Amino acid sequence: MVARYNDNVGALSKKRKGTIMKKMQVFFLCLLAIFTLTACGQEKGKTEKKASEPERTKVAYQESVVTLPEGVTSIEDVVQSEDNTLFLIGGNSDATQLSYWKSKDNGNSWEKLADYTNRLSEKGMDSTVRLANDGTGFVQMWEKEKAEKDPENTTVERYFLEKDFSLKPVSESVNETLKKEKAYTIDKLNDEKLLLTSWERGTFFVDIKTGKETEIYSQKDMILGKEVAKDTLYVVMSGKGEQVSISTGKKEKASAPFSKMVKLSEGKMGEPAAFGILKNSKDTFFCANDKHFYRVTGEKQEILFDKSKTMLGDVSISISKILPYGKDAFLVVTDDGKGGKLIRYEAKGERKQASKKLKVYTLKDDGFKNRAVKQVINLYQRKHEDVDVELEIGSENNEIPTDEALKKLNARLASGDAPDILVLDGLNVEKYQNQKIFSDITEVIEKNKTGDNFQNVLTTYEKDGKYYGLPLVFGAFCMYAPNGVEQETKTLDDMTNSLVKLSKSSKTPVFGSWDYNNLNTIFYRSYMAPKGKNLSEKDVENFYENMKKLYGLVNMKEVEKTKKVNESDISLLLGGGVSFVTTGETQTSFDYLSVIDDIKSYELADKVKNYPTTFLRDKEKMFFIPRNSLSIVKSSKNQDEAMEFLNLAIANETQDSLEAISGLPMNKKTFANQIKATLTENIEEVRTETGGKVKVPFGELTEETVNKWIEKLEQLNTPNNVDEILFQIIIKNMDDILTGETSVKDGTKQTMNRVKLYLSE
């Protein structure tokens, strides 16, 4: 994990703030894969939703991007006053300019109120600004260069942005409170109170005159969204909404429209929940979830439009704020890590009904796994308003077991009521291939077998000279270990013996206990998954025996309390373990190379250790993981539309639009651009969750870095597809086997009974 700045320094430079926000989103999305709702709660939620299903409005909404004020390319904050005046503060992408503006006509024209560029340039300052609804605000400034070198000892200057646009230093008592709490968000609510949120103690009101704190929520309460309307603070947390009186600090009963809005806005756990309140109306709310944009009033709930048909469906952006200025007109502030946009929506005419529906099916989804697929859906929808593209999820948030979802899919495939496009991740691809489920997409693959793409990955799904699947992104898994270990990877026995030997050579743990699950999934991919339907009882027993030996090399007692092996997710490819080698906390790392930022981690490790990076399993079989792979179902009646969907998916414009966190892109130019865009410092501080820390002289990721990694990735020669159901069967009783509650032999027999039953279906 790359260094995080001290919370007292605000949120770093403008560029780095965008990157940190995207990483936080991914972190929360990954949490979702671990903490899911109970089946009982899910069923209750589904029942409630049916009882008050939102109706779809017949009005069409025109989308347009608002032209920002002159010189502003990066939005710091935007608010809307009670009389609908817009206040915007922003600067340029390099954070060397900062100016303050207002608009009386909802962003059609702008008037400059103040310019703070000289204030920043005097000492090379960086800043964060949070505006209050009346146009005043709270400002933090710090010396940029000093913060990069020594963040923990960097002094932060704090000011109130006054109504005359001057900056007034906060009182000593308020400053001491803010320093003590190490706040990561500070909002000015009115002339009397601040709202402060800290990692360690939760959320507080802070009296602007005295600095006295009034606790509202503890650190356990994850606040996903908040808005202020006059004296009321509206707060959205996971699964609930609350209203708090700003003047008294007391919680009030949430209004019915607000409660309904909170229910509709529930998306993936941990995602921001932006919402807006129509000024001078306490019962008209606007919100969005991962699928729709809504309006909620005291009378009804309405779907205004599908996000996937607008710019809001782009997976690289999140909604920061919703600013309604009429019942049928509103502005949306977005954050994409590149400065953000202000997008206008106004009702214009009648909504056109789609004439066709294209169904894309994925076995599982948690908001993280299928980001590339969702990006293609968004681009396709915006080009084809006459087609509705629906992403069907077999098992969402574990509502039904994965094996039950698969049975339902198989029944649909057999009956002819199949989706048009399958996402192949986690499916038994070989079985479907033998059943001739897939259409021939050779035309798409051949057209793209050029030097622009990683051809070794592009041609993954081939049989008898024809192609039936298209990967959008990919990943790999690596071993980072001292010289010599890479010679012992051909079999699981060799690998285990080598690690046991290495563990005796040093007091440093051979690998991190918290990374055991990664080790388990990677070794399963390397030594078990390739066997497929030929998996034998001896193979299973050997896997359990070796994984038990490795389990005994590190202290797993603390891990066992919260992290069970049988809850591992084969498709959640989390990197970061190599940083523990960089900081000297472990001797080896078995880690996924799944996003561009992982490459930076390996480059940092090389500066310190310079160990060989080995793609498992060995030179004969260098595995890669095709991800977000698309295939057309042969029985689909929408072959032309599905084929056009795949052509768009591999097009340069689509690959260029993919986030660096979606996976390694198929297009080499996109890959190169993402590496070059990775933020680096001359001195990088690598930190780990367990307290490890080391400063590494680094610099930029250059063209030489790009070429080195392209050459490495072109050597990958064997696709590694995993049958997710089979994996779940294998790990079902692993915790009992590893801890000795069940013997390896008994555990193997239990597993093989389940395996035989599954393979016979």
Residues of the chain with CATH 3.40.190.10: 356-473+628-662
Please list the residues that pair with 335 across neighbouring strands.
318
Instruction: Tell me the Cα Rg of the chain.
Output: 27
Residue 196 has pLDDT above 60, yes or no: yes
Give the tens place of pLDDT for each residue, 128-147.
Answer: 999 999 999 999 999 988 88
The pair of structure tokens assigned to 547 is 């994984």
Count of Cβ atoms closer than 10 Å to residue 750 Cβ: 17
Which DSSP string do the residues of 525-594 spell out, in sequence order?
Answer: HHHTGGGGGG--HHHHHHHHHHHHHHHTTS--HHHHTT--GGG--TT-----THHHHHTTS-S-EEEEE-
**pLDDT per residue over 699-743, tens digit each?**
889 999 999 999 999 999 999 999 999 999 999 999 999 999 999
| Strand 421-423 versus strand 356-365 pairing type | parallel
Choose between 148 and 478: higher pLDDT. Answer: 478
Report the pLDDT value the prediction gives residue 184, as an integer from 0 to 100: 82
CA distance 574 to 568: 11
Is residue 433 scored above 80 in pLDDT? yes
Lowest mean pLDDT among 126-135, 267-276, 352-361, 745-754: 267-276
Q: What is the percent of the chain where pLDDT is above 70? A: 92
Q: Check whether 153 has a pLDDT greater than 80.
A: yes
Identify which of 364, 361, 360 has the alpha carbon closest to the alpha carbon of residue 727.
364
The Cα 343–Cα 68 span in angstroms is 10
Confidence of residue 27 (pLDDT cuts 50, 70, 90): very low
The identity of residue 295, as a single letter, is R
Class of domain 480-624+667-760: alpha beta
What is the phi/psi pair of residue 326, to 5°?
-175, 170
In angstroms, rounded to a whole number, what is the distance separating the alpha carbons of residues 17 and 21?
6
Helical packing angle, 402-415 and 724-731, nearest 10°: 150
Looking only at the bridges linking them, the beta strands covering 387-396 and 356-365 are parallel
For 684-746, give the secondary structure using H, E and C. Answer: EEEECCCCCEEEEECCCCCHHHHHHHHHHHHCCCEECCCCHHHHHHHHCCHHHHHCCCCCHHH
Instruction: With beta carbons less than 8 A apart as the criterion, state whether 714 and 454 touch.
Output: yes
Contact 421, 361 (CB under 8 A): yes
pTM for this entry: 0.84
CA gap 584, 695 in Å, rounded: 12
Eight-state DSSP code of residue 114: E
Q: What would the CATH number be for the domain defined by 356-473+628-662?
A: 3.40.190.10
Q: Give Cα separations from 113 to 103, 116, 166, 286 (angstroms).
A: 10, 10, 10, 29
Q: Give the pLDDT confidence of 213-246 residue by residue, as tens digits.
A: 998 888 788 888 999 999 999 999 877 899 999 9
| Residue 92: both structure tokens together | 């340029």
